[in-house]
Amino acid sequence: TQLLEQSPQFLSIQEGENLTVYCNSSSVFSSLQWYRQEPGEGPVLLVTVVTGGEVKKLKRLTFQFGDARKDSSLHITAAQPGDTGLYLCAGARSSYKLIFGSGTRLLVRP
């Protein structure tokens, strides 16, 4: 059973479109992180959200932490081919170990 469920699992869109990726759980997390992983490489941290309801922006990427700190979303505006990759959410609980979702694989077609 996956503690963190990500949806959709796979997304293929045209350059310029908007998209939202979701990360859901029935558990509360003290913080939640989003990583992007490109083929043949390790994940790279994009953002950490800590406070319920928190919204962080990173250029065209907007991250939101749910009010109850059980879920998060990543919204990309005007997607570009460079956004292609595997997006992973990861939650930290009281033990401080990270629990990773299974990921959303994004393909942005030129």
Partner 1 sequence: NAGVTQTPKFQVLKTGQSMTLQCAQDMNHNSMYWYRQDPGMGLRLIYYSASEGTTDKGEVPNGYNVSRLNKREFSLRLESAAPSQTSVYFCASSERWTEYNEQFFGPGTRLTVL
Sites of contact with partner 1 (CB under 8 A): 2, 4, 9, 30-31, 33, 35, 40-45, 48, 50, 88, 90, 92, 96-98, 100-103
Nearest-approach distance from CB 14 to partner 1, in angstroms:
25
- Find the shortest distance in angstroms from Cβ 100 to partner 1: 4
Strand partners of residue 25: none
Nearest-angstrom CA–CA distance, 19 and 26: 24
Helix and strand numbers, DSSP H then E, in the chain: 0, 11
Q: Rounded to the nearest whole angstrom, what is the least distance from the CB of residue 17 to partner 1 in the complex?
A: 25
Q: At a CB cut-off of 8 Å and minimum separation 6, what does 97 contact? A: none
Tell me how far, at minimum, the Cβ of 56 lies from partner 1, in Å: 13
Please say which residue, 14 or 26, places its beta carbon nearer to partner 1. 26
* Comparison of 1 and 14: residue with beta carbon closer to partner 1: 1
CA distance 72 to 80: 22
Three-state secondary structure call for residue 82: helix
